[in-house]
Amino acid sequence: MFALGAIFERFPSKQRLSEVVFLLQHDYLLPMALDAVADKTPSVRDGAKYAIDALYKELGAEAKVYGFLPLLISYLRKGTAKWQSAVVAFELVGRMADDAKMGMESLEAEQAKDVLREAMGRKLQDLIPIVEGGMHDLKAEVGKAAIKTMNSLTTLLQNDDVQPRLPLLIKAMEDPSTSSLQKAIHALSQTTFVAIVTSPVLAVLTPLLERSLNSPSTSQEVTRQTVVVVENLTKLVHDPVEARSFLPKLLPGTKAVRDRASLPEVREIGQRALDVIEKAMGQQTSGDHSESDRTVPEDVAKVLEKETKANGGLLQMTGDANIWALAKPYLSNMVAEDATDRKLDRINANIAPYMAPLMEEGKADAVAEAVHKFYVSEDERKFGAPPPLADGEVEIVNATFSLGYGGMLLLSHTNLRLLKGHRYGLCGRNGAGKSTLMRAIANGKLEGFPSQDEVRTCFVEHNQGEDADLTILDYCLKDPDLQAEGKDRIVAVLEEVGFASGPEGRQSEKVGSLSGGWKMKLALARAMLMRADVFLLDEPTNHLDVANVRWLQEYLKTHTDITSLIVSHDSGFLDEVCTDIIHYEQKKLVNYKGNLAAFVKAKPEAGAYYTLSASQVQFKFPPPGILTGVKSNTRSILRMTDCNFTYPGGSKPSLQGVSCQLSLSSRVAIIGANGAGKSTLIKLLTGETIPQTGKVEKHPNLRIGYIKQHALEHVEMHLEKTPNQYLQWRYANGDDREVLMKGTRVLTDEDKAQMEKFVDLGPGMGQRKIEAIIGRQKWKKSFQYEIKWVGMLPKNNTMISRETLMELGFQKLVQEFDDHEASREGLGFRSLEPKVISKHFEDVGLDPEIANHNEISGLSGGQKVKVVLAGAMWNNPHLLVLDEPTNFLDRDSLGGLAVAIRDYKGGVVMISHNEEFVGALCPEQWHVADGRLTQKGTVAVSMDRFEDSSKPGSSVASSVVSSAVPSTVGTPTQSDAEGGGDMAFRARKKKKMTKKEQKEREVRRRLRHIEWLNSPKGTPHPPDSDADE
């Protein structure tokens, strides 16, 4: 065995044709070595393992698949091997799958992995049944090895839809019981399939689906789920070859469902699935991956034979004909694999070394080069040649690289090519790595990308960490990257962007006072001052109003010397600006000429960029719950009256004389220019800030879900936590900790002094100091609170009305207790367990795997927004307040959010410059300008912007009367015609009491009176009311 190992170790590296001898001509050598692994003699076992390992290491990716793997499959399929040999064979199969995993090695190594991964994926059809059989072997060691191998093989599936379900699928293979199969089928039926289904996916799923269809113990519900999965999968099989390889196995079972299922609904679904299967099997060369895209070994053999004869043919040596008869199909398979996988650079290495011993010197290289040229021309014929540079076009970047972040590989050996003056839209789902790519470019950490000396880049992002106390001009002058520009040019560029100069101009304002839109314009001005060759724009339209978006579009289009790489979810902006689209596909960057519309035309499945659809990402918001005394969705629950607010150091009020109100049916969009005061209005409504004059009233039990303009502020203090841990921390004490951080909850020095004051309760009671509010109950049209006094026992607690406490100056104390009670009601049905929290994150589109195991610091901007959204919705809010909710969300998530808001049963008020989003959801608009609020009436929502616009019934169309600003004409000031009276909530009307009920009421009142007589002197007499009974 050691001698065989030495032969395996030396010959293939020096004489590639020896592979044909070892693997094909003498195909018993590898099985013999595997048998020797089970030998009783230790030296024989060690020698056998050495020989197998030596042969494996010397083989290339193609040789492993078409020489080594078939021998392993044949060996395991016989089933006669001893258990030690079977374990080694399974380990070798698993090792091949592990070696095919993507990584960040050299380009040559990664190309070899790509070939191995694609080729093994096509072999899974043969491998899965063999390995699944090994999982049930009577020998435990074989079963464990087979399970480990199955886990390795499933890594070959490059399908994001199926990936999360793999543990359940493997469990169903390991435990072939009805219950495990049902769980796997149920999980698949809950999966939204969107990725193209290829051979590896079909190889794993087809046996399970076939077993479910053909099992007599399968229930009608599981049968229904199975045929739904079959239908959905089949729709995404684009390769007719793969369809005809796998789908015939599902045909008999699907026909049986159509003919014999007991429920008509299941029979109908079976017929539908059958139609889809037959269509997929019958389709010809149409689609992205047709039969003509594949290179078959027979065609390669013809080309190889032709070029061999053209270069003098083979040497007529003894035995050459026999070797060539085996070598030709071997080489043909390897070249066909390289051509199909478009790894054309590998063709020469898979021909010349093998043919060199059979031809005159130099002829083998000529044959290899001729075959290579032939398949390069074939590839260009099928997929098109790389576009040549047009006249005047200059290539400034052509980099091939891999990109990873944390433990995730985002891009694997992909190419980025940028031309001067072109504007590239970078498109992909949240978490694909768009911002990470641009950050790597800006930091000079991208392999192969030109240095800042050659190509100057500037990353324009939403960075709110500026020195808030500096003026805008001083901030720019202090920037080390801008100091060389001089003050005059900085002032001129700031003026060009819109920052007026002079003592009264915006350049003299502090950075901290800028709205989100103006901060983005400041970042753009910085990029202009840096004279950047490449603008890296991360969500540039976030926070910008319509006028500023138009200005940015014109600026980018007129400056043809600037190359832009843009991440944006604003489809109109990408349509207007982009000359090219770069799309993330299977960890590669794929370039499409034209704007977003041209990209969607070339790739129809990307149509989600133009519609608001929840087909790929679904959000589910919890119902808001009941508000005491609010029987109508149009009743006012939050109201602002004649409020004024000026920021500290501000020269003029941000808001003045503002009055408005909201109800459960409100769908309000707040519109206005950057810096007009929209976010300030939201902060006053939610209690983040306090108005200098006027008042803000809300229902005592109202729960508000609030997402700030800079939404990531919510989680920036918890970057070391996972999303699950963050939510547990936030609600650990039974209420929302972030509510306690609001300006209306934080105790000022005046409030602390107020808490030290004594309260005079009247004769016989004396003066007491409030320690805490410990209870609350309904009293007349308001509430009364149970007060615990400092230094006194609980039996001395006293009930004081809400109005009295407010008059005494304890507003924040009352508000804090109201918030606690509101949160308690909202969290009453919530269990703060990791499993429940995972499901909640899944409802807002965040993968439970990410929610449970990834730290917030490693999440993308879109994923962080989903964390914030989940936190806001955990306590079942009645009113959802969103400040720029569309920022950072990709199109799929945007569609899911829009549908969730449309179907939400509570009130919604939002600020957004995304007209598409607002127009589809908000029939009412409040316009803020010069610090004043005006309501411009209601508008019809554009329901056709939803993909499911035909769906009847939507809360968007509900009444918005209660959201209107109370008018000053035609309605008495304190009437309830518009809900403009006091924030009081009537109890429901009582029916006339019977005589028996009247007697029972008298008994209860008498008992209360006796209890009052026995209470300490000064205790208020309880009211004769049954409201609390």
State residue 134's pLDDT score. Answer: 92
AA letter at 721 = K
Task: Find the mean pLDDT for residues 770-785.
Answer: 83
State residue 711's pLDDT score. Answer: 62
Based on the domain organization, do 1025 and 905 belong to the same domain? Answer: no
Task: Find the mean pLDDT for residues 252-258.
Answer: 90
Say which residue, 727 or 511, is predicted with more confidence: 727
Q: Is the pTM of this model over 0.85?
A: no
Taking the C-alpha atoms of residue 602 and residue 591, their distance in angstroms, rounded to an integer, is 11
State residue 87's pLDDT score. Answer: 94
What's the Cα-to-Cα distance from 833 to each of 729, 827, 966, rounded to whole Å?
Answer: 12, 12, 44
Give 825-884 as a 3 state SS string. Answer: HHCCCCCCCHHHHHHHHHHCCCCHHHHHHCCHHHCCHHHHHHHHHHHHHCCCCCEEEEEC
Which residues span the domain enclosing 809? 749-824
Q: Is residue 44 part of a domain?
A: no
Based on the domain organization, do 859 and 1007 belong to the same domain? Answer: no
Task: Find the mean pLDDT for residues 782-794.
Answer: 86
Taking the C-alpha atoms of residue 819 and residue 811, their distance in angstroms, rounded to an integer, is 12
Query: Furthest-apart CA pair in the chain: how many Å?
Result: 126
Q: Residue 296 has what DSSP assignment?
A: -
Task: Find the mean pLDDT for residues 59-85.
Answer: 90
pLDDT tens digits, one per residue of 181-227: 999 998 888 776 767 788 888 899 999 999 999 888 888 889 988 99
| pLDDT of 423 over the 50 cut | yes
Q: Is residue 931 part of a domain?
A: yes
Taking the C-alpha atoms of residue 122 and residue 161, their distance in angstroms, rounded to an integer, is 19
When mean pLDDT is compared over 168-177, 383-392, 499-508, the highest value belongs to 168-177
For helices 220-235 and 178-189, the axis angle rounded to 10 degrees is 50
Q: How many residues does the chain have?
A: 1029
Q: Is residue 60 part of a domain?
A: no
Mean pLDDT rounded to a whole number for the chain: 81
Q: In Å, how far from its chain's centre is CA 529?
A: 35
Are the C-beta atoms of residues 184 and 208 closer than 8 Å to each other?
A: yes
What's the Cα-to-Cα distance from 457 to each of 475, 527, 532, rounded to whole Å?
Answer: 20, 9, 5
| pLDDT of 872 over the 80 cut | yes
Say which residue, 155 or 413, is predicted with more confidence: 155
Say which residue, 598 or 5, is predicted with more confidence: 598
Say which residue, 122 or 281, is predicted with more confidence: 122
Based on the domain organization, do 555 and 515 belong to the same domain? Answer: no
Cα angle for residues 886, 889, 890 (degrees, 5° grid) = 125
Q: Per-residue confidence at 139, pLDDT binned at 50, 70, 90?
A: very high
Say which residue, 581 or 8, is predicted with more confidence: 581
State residue 391's pLDDT score. Answer: 65
Are the C-beta atoms of residues 523 and 460 closer than 8 Å to each other?
A: yes
Based on the domain organization, do 506 and 417 belong to the same domain? Answer: no
Cα angle for residues 482, 486, 492 (degrees, 5° grid) = 95
Range list of β-strands (E), 673-815 = 693-698, 704-707, 758-760, 767-779, 782-789, 798-801
Of 978, 976, 994, which is closest to residue 986 (Cα–Cα)?
Answer: 976
Taking the C-alpha atoms of residue 785 and residue 77, their distance in angstroms, rounded to an integer, is 78
Q: Per-residue confidence at 949, pLDDT binned at 50, 70, 90?
A: low
Q: Is residue 108 part of a domain?
A: no
Task: Find the mean pLDDT for residues 300-318.
Answer: 85
Q: Is residue 898 part of a domain?
A: yes
State residue 422's pLDDT score. Answer: 93
Based on the domain organization, do 861 and 1006 belong to the same domain? Answer: no
Residue 119, H or E segment: helix 107-135
**Least confident range of 328-337, 392-401, 983-992:** 983-992
Q: Is residue 101 part of a domain?
A: no
Q: Is residue 410 part of a domain?
A: yes
When mean pLDDT is compared over 89-98, 454-463, 792-801, the highest value belongs to 89-98
Give the number of domains in the chain: 7
CB neighbour class for 103 (10 Å; exposed up to 12, middle 13-18, buried from 19): middle
| pLDDT of 304 over the 80 cut | yes
Which of 573, 595, 610 corresponds to the end of one domain? 610
Taking the C-alpha atoms of residue 364 and residue 303, their distance in angstroms, rounded to an integer, is 14
Q: Per-residue confidence at 140, pLDDT binned at 50, 70, 90?
A: very high
AA letter at 318 = T
| pLDDT of 94 over the 90 cut | yes
Based on the domain organization, do 567 and 598 belong to the same domain? Answer: yes
pLDDT tens digits, one per residue of 817-840: 877 777 666 566 677 888 889 889
State residue 285's pLDDT score. Answer: 38
**What does residue 274 show for φ and ψ, rounded to 5 degrees?**
-65, -40
Of 395, 270, 294, 412, which is closest to residue 342 (Cα–Cα)?
Answer: 294
Which of 292, 308, 336 corresponds to the end of one domain? 292
Say which residue, 723 or 765, is predicted with more confidence: 723
Say which residue, 951 or 157, is predicted with more confidence: 157
State residue 958's pLDDT score. Answer: 39
| Helix spans in 136-239 (H) | 140-153, 166-174, 178-189, 199-214, 220-235
Q: Per-residue confidence at 653, pLDDT binned at 50, 70, 90?
A: confident
Q: Per-residue confidence at 746, pLDDT binned at 50, 70, 90?
A: low
Based on the domain organization, do 718 and 848 belong to the same domain? Answer: yes
Cα angle for residues 717, 720, 721 (degrees, 5° grid) = 90
Q: Per-residue confidence at 683, pLDDT binned at 50, 70, 90?
A: confident
| pLDDT of 146 over the 90 cut | yes
pLDDT tens digits, one per residue of 896-946: 788 888 888 899 998 877 776 777 788 888 888 888 888 876 555 655 556
| pLDDT of 144 over the 90 cut | yes
Give 934's strand partners. 927
Q: Residue 81 has what DSSP assignment?
A: S
CB neighbour class for 352 (10 Å; exposed up to 12, middle 13-18, buried from 19): buried
Q: Residue 939 has what DSSP assignment?
A: -
State residue 687's pLDDT score. Answer: 79
State residue 907's pLDDT score. Answer: 92
Q: Looking at residue 903, which CATH number applies to its domain?
A: 3.40.50.300
State residue 643's pLDDT score. Answer: 93
Based on the domain organization, do 283 and 299 belong to the same domain? Answer: no
Of 942, 712, 952, 736, which is closest to residue 823 (Cα–Cα)?
Answer: 736
Q: In Å, how far from its chain's centre is CA 613?
A: 15
State residue 464's pLDDT score. Answer: 45
Based on the domain organization, do 1002 and 953 belong to the same domain? Answer: no
Which of 352, 383, 414 corresponds to the end of one domain? 383
Q: What percent of the chain lies above the pLDDT cut of 70?
A: 86
Taking the C-alpha atoms of residue 283 and residue 240, their distance in angstroms, rounded to an integer, is 6
| pLDDT of 1012 over the 50 cut | yes
Can you read off the two tokens belonging to residue 180?
């495990």
Based on the domain organization, do 267 and 191 belong to the same domain? Answer: yes
Of 484, 466, 487, which is closest to residue 475 (Cα–Cα)?
Answer: 466
**Least confident range of 414-428, 442-456, 648-662, 956-970:** 956-970
Based on the domain organization, do 366 and 332 belong to the same domain? Answer: yes
Based on the domain organization, do 700 and 799 belong to the same domain? Answer: no
Of 214, 335, 230, 323, which is closest to residue 275 (Cα–Cα)?
Answer: 230
Q: What percent of the chain lies above the pLDDT cut of 90?
A: 15
Of 551, 883, 839, 555, which is closest to residue 707 (Cα–Cα)?
Answer: 883
**What does residue 974 show for φ and ψ, rounded to 5 degrees?**
-105, 15
AA letter at 300 = V
State residue 130's pLDDT score. Answer: 93
Q: Is residue 492 part of a domain?
A: yes
* Contact residues for 323 (Cβ-Cβ < 8 A; gap 6+): 17, 20, 21, 25, 358
Taking the C-alpha atoms of residue 752 and residue 750, their distance in angstroms, rounded to an integer, is 5
Q: Per-residue confidence at 975, pLDDT binned at 50, 70, 90?
A: very low
pLDDT tens digits, one per residue of 474-509: 888 888 878 778 888 888 888 888 888 877 778 888
State residue 891's pLDDT score. Answer: 61
For the beta sheet containing 563-567, the strands, ordered from the edge strand earlier in sequence to the opposite edge, are: 457-460, 534-538, 563-567, 423-427, 580-585, 588-593
Are the C-beta atoms of residues 375 and 335 closer than 8 Å to each other?
A: yes
| pLDDT of 95 over the 90 cut | yes
For helices 861-873 and 834-843, the axis angle rounded to 10 degrees is 120
